Structure 1
Amino acid sequence: MSKLVTIIGGSGFIGRYIARRMAKEGWRVRVASRRPNEALFVRTYGVVGQVEPVFCNIRDDLSVRAAVTGADAVVNCVGILVNEGKNRFDAVQAEGAGRVARIAAEEGVAHLVQISAIGADAASDSDYQRSKAAGEAAVLSAYPEAVILRPSIVFGFEDGFFNRFAGMARRMIVLPLVGAETRFQPVHVEDVAEAAARAALGQAAPGIYELGGPEVLTLRQIVTAMLQEIRRRRAVVNMPFGVGAAIGGALDLMQTLSMGLYTNRTLTRDQVRNLRRDNVVAPDARGFEALGIRPTPFEAVIPEYLWRYRPTGQYDAIKESARNLRG
């Protein structure tokens, strides 16, 4: 019988690409999700019965054990960007990650992969980054041979980065950026998935890997390149961190006062704290080279999915060609 991998958070942005890759490797894939009925699309990644969504709540021992039991490899992709209800940074990214590692060790899982993030730091003033660091520590304590992957900002068809800014550019004539000069190293989701798959297959040495694309650019430079791709002229304005913190604080307060009716997904104070620090691979870190992967530049990929934000969508290229012919 072919081997089995459990991908916790396997229907999310990164997880679905890992699921597809593992299916191509011939593995049976168990996609663990809080809402398996909304993850039925993953079944198309393999032959009938090869990829199956199952229920899993990373905050519950019995739920995680049921998803992990019998697996030869486990990949934990679960992460959140904002606190919402019971899904808090500590509960999900620290305690949840540790729970997966502990149960994977108890169940004799051969390989464990944890998706973390560049910037994970126990001494950070960001709740998000501290919880990521706590999760890594808990994973290594329970499962010392784990592979931990720390990607920079991840891009791809369903991303929440380029799609978000392109959507803003379609509605606004000025794009205010908090941390416009903060540096990032955009990494393709397919490259992250390849790294995770190699680790799940036992082709990566244990430890931490920082994953960044081939280019280090400021947020302003990245957004400017995106604007060129979608053929829109917009003013890109740097918003001071103090102003960003004040706006984030006001929106956070609205979430608190709403008693769960509103979730601040626009800008939080914690996100402003994150934007004060560069999000790039450390000089001494192991990365794609150690995994034998050549990262993909974002300019080679974003035309494949950002065309829909152009003024006339897919017809923009036709109009440009027509203008060239008339010239």
Structure 2
Amino acid sequence: MENPGGGGMGKRAFILGGTGQIGRSVGLRLLKEGWAVTYASRRGNLPDNARSFDANAVSLDRDQHGALARAIGDGADAVIDTVAFDGKHADQLLGIEKTVGQFVVISSSSVYRDHLGRTLDEARENGFPDLPEYMTEDQSTVEPGPETYSTRKIALERRLLDQATRPVTILRPAAIHGTHSTHPREWWFVKRMLDGREAIPLCFNGKSRFHTTAVSNIAEVTARALERPETRILNVADPSALPVLEIGALIAQAMEWKGRLIPIDMGDPRFGSPVGWTPWSVPEPFTLSTEAARRIGYTASIGYSQSIKEICEWLTQAADKDWRQQFPVLAQYGFPLFDYDAEDKFFHT
């Protein structure tokens, strides 16, 4: 398969996890640029935002032996893997590389560690990592292994970077946001507002800055990377790393909520009540440099303030269903996200 460069006209893209939050956005972007897109997922359905295009969908259980090779057939100019998780998934991609022009694979910025080896994965047990602001791709990472989400992601990265003979772009996003998510951090605010909470506490005085990444910006970096195939690692993040207080204010505006956001001077939630702890709450900034992505032509297509209204509308429509089933990653947090009794007790003491 010839390595693609330039525009997408006549090129074929195969997206693993095509119906998920990232796959939907990447697929739509490539369709608009003239790519022929095949969406691969367990159900094999076509995303609703692709139905007006001449796109294809295939059912795929990638863990069945030979299933990926059969699904991709005679190949693709680009394979975009939005759901690769570990070294086993890397081996699956290496097994089809003779029929692939290049790969774009989603990893995570959670792989970064500080000089003591601390990461986001174990921050509640070991303390928050001491990381520089606007980390570059050269920041130290965890070692590969089966222990945590991040060590598995690094195993995926290393295997591909060390062994692939085709160009591989590894993308490291931060706190991903957009519709059709199984981990919509915004639900922490939206549910409180829908439930009629009049005051919402924010720990660390609402100053926490955990860089956000719009799925449309992941799609933008993907499109630019496909124009210039090479092996590299790229951070992906929004133009600004907003503090939690500003994120909450934007959500309140989108929801037309008239209550109060109350910054509280509270220490590390590891040592006490999770009152005011949001999914973006960190004691120190966690921010990414996107200079490397900008060097290949990346310009953020959207910022958080532009994306939040659509997210809130989508979440509001989902509010009549069990959020634990709809948002399973949120439901797996190790403490209650909506402990209103604890909040009421805090406000009345």
Deviation at 1:35, TM superposition (A): 1.5
State the distance in 2 between where 1:177 and 1:97 align: 39
CA distance in 2, matches of 1:43, 1:304: 18
2:29 corresponding residue in structure 1: 21
1:287 to 263, 268, 293: 293
What stretches of structure 1 of length at least 5 have no aligned partner? 79-91, 248-266, 311-327
**2:175 corresponds to which letter in structure 1?**
I
Partner of 2:91: 99
Equivalent residue, structure 2, for 1:89: none
Within 5 Å, which residues of 2 pair with 1:36-55?
36-37=44-45, 39=46, 41=48, 43-47=50-54, 51-55=55-59
- Letter in structure 2 aligned against 1:208: I
TM-score normalized by structure 2?
0.65
Looking at structure 2, the residues matched to 41 and 242 of structure 1 have their Cα atoms a distance apart, in angstroms, of 41
**TM-score where L is the length of structure 1:** 0.68
Supply the distance in 2 between the matched residues of 1:294 and 1:307 (Cα, whole angstroms): 22
> For residues 194 and 235 of structure 1, do their structure 2 counterparts lie closer, same or farther at Cα, with a shift above 3 Å needed?
closer
Alpha-carbon offset, residue 226 of structure 1: 1.8
Contact 1:102 1:139 in 2 (8 A): yes
Q: After superposing the two structures, state which structure 1 stretch, 188-197 or 123-132, moved more.
A: 123-132
Larger deviation, residues 64-73 vs 178-187 = 178-187
> What count of residue pairs does the alignment treat as equivalent?
266
User: Secondary structure at the residue paired with 2:19?
Assistant: coil
Q: Please identify, of 134-143 and 164-173, the stretch whose mean Cα deviation from structure 2 is larger.
A: 164-173
Q: Which of these residues, 163, 180, 192, is aligned with residue 158 of structure 1? A: 180
Does structure 2 conserve the Cα–Cα contact (< 8 Å) formed by 1:17 and 1:193?
yes
240 and 32 in structure 1: CA distance in 2 versus 1, 3 angstrom threshold: same
Answer whether contact 1:204 1:291 (CA < 8 A) is retained. no
Q: 2:109 aligns with which of 118, 122, 133?
A: 118
Aligned to 1:314: none
Cα distance, 1:167 vs structure 2: 2.7
Q: Gaps (5+ residues) in structure 2?
A: 1-8, 122-147, 317-349
**Relative contact order, higher structure (CA 8 A, sep 6+):** 2
The reply on whether 1:67 has 2:71 as its aligned counterpart is yes
Percent of aligned pairs sharing the same letter: 23
Please state if 1:184 is matched with 2:210.
yes
Amino acid aligned to 2:177:
F
Equivalent of 1:193, from 201, 212, 219?
Answer: 219
- RMSD value, Cα: 3.3
Counterpart in 1 of 2:39?
31
Counterpart contact for 2:94–2:160, Cα < 8 Å: yes
Instruction: State the 1:110 CA deviation.
Output: 0.9
How far apart, CA to CA, are the structure 2 residues paired with 1:116 and 1:108? 23
SS in 2 for 1:26: coil
Q: Amino acid of the residue matched to residue 71 of structure 2?
A: A
Partner in structure 1 of residue 156 of structure 2:
135
The letter of the residue matching 2:69 is R
